[in-house]
Amino acid sequence: MSVNEAVNPAPEKEGGLNFVEQAVADDLRAGKNGGRLSTRFPPEPNGYLHIGHAKAICMDFGVAEKFGGTCNLRFDDTNPVKEDTEYVDSIREDIKWLGYDWGDREYYASDYFPQLYDLAIRLIKEGKAYVDEQTSEQIAEQKGTPTQAGTNSPYRDRPIEENLDLFQRMNAGEFDEGSMVLRAKIDMASPNMHFRDPIMYRIIKHPHHRTGDRWKVYPMYDFAHGQSDYFEGVTHSICTLEFVPHRPLYDYFVDFLADESYRPRQIEFNRLNLTYTVLSKRKLLQLVKEGLVDGWDDPRMPTVSGLRRRGFTPDSIKAFLTRIGYTKFEAVNDISLLEFSIREDLNQKATRVCAVLDPVKVVITNYPEDTVEDVDMENNPEDPNGGTHKMPFCREIYIERDDFMENPPKKYFRLSPDKEVRLKGAYIIKCTGCKKDENGNVVEIYCEYDPETKSGMPGSMRKVKGTLHWVSARHCVEAEARLYDRLFNVENAGEEKERDFHEMLNPESIKVVKNIKIEPFLAENAKPGAHFQFQRIGYFTPDSKDSKPDSLVFNRTITLKDSWQKINK
C-alpha cells in the first residue's frame, strides 16, 4: 500500500470533503471574493495530457461543480518554442472526453501579455525590477544555497530610466536571446530561493502560435501565473505540491494588483506518480520522437488519449482518482489500482463475446454436416437487462489450442481424450481423438456431442468441470488482436535515476496476434468505443485508428486477472 491509502480515507464514502474542498468551503462560508468560486485548469500546450493531468482536471472542475462555481480552461502558453496547436486541440478533446465543460471560458496566458508587460513596466518604474545582462550561468552561480545568501548582480542598481529603455528594446528585438533578462529586485538573501531576484522575462525570438512575432520577451511562469489568475477572476488556483515554495512569490506579485474585495489563492495537492510508467512530458515526448511507441495515443502510453484508445473509460479513471484521493504528501501509487478500476468498470459494462486467439479445429463427428443452430449467449451476467445474442453452432468449431492436451496432467479440466467439457452456451462434448501433422502438432480434434445436454435443457445440468469458449468455423470472422501490457517492467520507472529509461522498457508490452477467430456478432458490433469481454481472455476494444469493417483490430484493454501480482511475489 502506498502512503496515500494509509493517510487518506476515501472521502466519498464518508460524505466528507478532501482538504482542498474543505478550504474552498471555508472561504465561501467566510464570504471571501464576494462568495464567488472560480478555478482553472492550466495546461501548457507542449504535450498531450496524461493521467496525472486527469487528476488535476478532476480536482479543478470537480470542486467547481461541487460548490456551484466555474472552471476555466487556460492554456499556459508562455514558451512559444515548445508549444503547438496540435496540443491545444488534443487537450480540449481529452477534457471533454473526461466529461468536463469549460463553456466559453477558454483563455490563454498569452491573452494577458499586454497587462503583464504593463505590470513589468510599473515594477521597473517603482525600482522593483532591473535588466540583468549576465549569462544564465553567472546568475545561477550568484543564487547561493538555502543556507547561504546569494550575491547581488552588478546590474542590480542600474538607474530606472536605463532599465525602462533596455526592457523596451529587449521587446523590440534589439538584443539576442540569452543576452538579457528582466529580474525582480527582491532579496538575494531571502531564505526562500524563489525570492532571490527571480527572472520575470526572457527574450525568445521564436514566433508564438497565437501572437506571432508581436512579442520578443516572454514572462516566466512565476510572473505569469498568479497575475493571470487575477486578471481572469480565479479565486482558487489549485496546483501540485512542487509549487508550495513558489506560493510566497505568487502572493508577492498578486499583491501589486489585488485588494480586499478579491484575491486569488493558491492551494497545492500531491501530484500523481504511478508505478511501471513515466509521467514526465519530456520522457513521454522522447518515447514519441524516438518511435518507441505509436504516437502520443499509443495504447501503452499513460496519456488520456492512449488510455482512451486502449479502452479505458472516464468512469474507471475517475474511480481510480477517487480511490487514491488528494493529500499533502508525495507518494507513488500502484498501477494495479488503476487496472483494478478498469476491470471493475468493464465487468459491469462490457458485452461478453467469444473470440479464439490461438485456434485449433474441433470436428463434432456425430453432428449433422449441414445443420446450423443458433444458440443463445448471455450479453452480460452482471446486467439483469443485458439480454442475449445468437451465436451459430455447427459441426466444425474452433477452440483455443491450449484448451486441449493429449496427455494432460492431473488437474487439467479442459479437453483431452475420453474427457468431457461443456461448450459455453451449447453442448457437452467428449473427445474421441485427434490428428497430428508430421511434427506432432495437433491439427484437428475429434469429439462427439451429447444432444441431451443442450444449454437450458435438463440434460445440461450434468456436472463437467471445464467450460470452453468457441466459435463456429464456418461462420467466424478473422481479426487481429493487440495484446498490450505495462510499458515498463521496472516498478519505479518514473523515479529511477541510475538507469536509462530505454533499458526499463518492457519488451513484451505489445504482442500482435493475427488471424484470431471471432464470432459474427462481435464482427457486426465492433464499433469504435465499444467494450467487449472476450470470454476467459480479457477486455478488448476496437482500435480507433486501425480497425476497419473489413479488417478488424482489437486492443486488449486489460487481462481478466492481475498476472503481475503473482510474478512479483
Any idea which residues carry the catalytic annotation?
A: 44, 271, 281
Positive/negative CA dihedral, 129, 133, 138, 140? positive
Min CB(35)–ligand ATP separation in Å: 25
Q: Which is nearer to ligand ATP, 239 or 523 (CB)?
A: 239
Cα distance between residue 532 and residue 535, in whole Å: 9
Residue least distant from ligand ATP (Cβ): 52
Using CB under 6 A, which residues numbered 454 to 493 contact ligand ATP?
A: none
Min CB(37)–ligand ATP separation in Å: 17
Q: Which of 43, 40, 48, 102 is nearest to 78 (CA)?
A: 43
Min CB(460)–ligand ATP separation in Å: 52
Q: Which is nearer to ligand ATP, 76 or 403 (CB)?
A: 76
Q: Which is nearer to ligand ATP, 197 or 229 (CB)?
A: 229
Min CB(174)–ligand ATP separation in Å: 30
Q: What is the DSSP letter of 212?
A: B
Cα distance between residue 399 and residue 416, in whole Å: 13
Among 128, 263, 271, 283, binds ligand ATP (CB under 6 A): 271
Which amino acid type is present at position 104?
D
Min CB(102)–ligand ATP separation in Å: 14
Using rule CB under 6 A, residue 240 touches ligand ATP: yes
Backbone φ and ψ of 268, nearest 5°: -115, 145
Q: Which of 335, 368, 380, 344 is nearest to 494 (CA)?
A: 335
For the purposes of burial, counting CB atoms within 10 Å of the CB of 396, is it exposed (0-12), middle (13-18) or buried (19 or more)?
middle
**The one segment of 18-26, 125-133, 271-279, 387-395 that binds ligand ATP by CB under 6 A:** 271-279
**The one segment of 43-51, 118-126, 316-324, 341-349 that binds ligand ATP by CB under 6 A:** 43-51
Min CB(49)–ligand ATP separation in Å: 8
Q: How far is CA 517 from CA 212, 319, 352, 353, 379, in A?
A: 54, 33, 15, 11, 19
Min CB(281)–ligand ATP separation in Å: 5
Using CB under 6 A, which residues numbered 279 to 318 contact ligand ATP?
A: 279, 281
**The one segment of 46-54, 207-215, 454-462, 546-554 that binds ligand ATP by CB under 6 A:** 46-54
Among 4, 18, 32, 43, binds ligand ATP (CB under 6 A): 43
Q: At how many degrees (to 10) do helices 51-66 and 85-97 cross?
A: 60
Question: What is the three-state SS of 189-202?
Answer: CCCCHHHCCCEEEE
x-or-dash pattern for ligand ATP, window 48-87, by CB under 6 A?
----xx-xx-------------------x-----------
Among 11, 21, 46, 467, binds ligand ATP (CB under 6 A): 46
Cα distance between residue 6 and residue 25, in whole Å: 25
For the purposes of burial, counting CB atoms within 10 Å of the CB of 480, is it exposed (0-12), middle (13-18) or buried (19 or more)?
middle
Q: What angle do CA 308, 310, 313 make, to 5 degrees?
A: 45
Min CB(187)–ligand ATP separation in Å: 26
Q: Which three cell numbers stand for residue 346?
A: 468493464
Q: Which is nearer to ligand ATP, 267 or 468 (CB)?
A: 267
**The one segment of 37-45, 61-69, 525-533, 550-558 that binds ligand ATP by CB under 6 A:** 37-45
Q: How far is CA 265 from CA 57, 226, 255, 392, in A?
A: 18, 9, 11, 63
**The one segment of 38-46, 128-136, 226-234, 485-493 that binds ligand ATP by CB under 6 A:** 38-46
The residues that bridge with 468 in the sheet, in sequence order, are 423
Q: Which is nearer to ligand ATP, 272 or 301 (CB)?
A: 272
Q: Which residues bind ligand ATP (CB under 6 A)?
A: 42-44, 46, 52-53, 55-56, 76, 239-240, 271-272, 279, 281
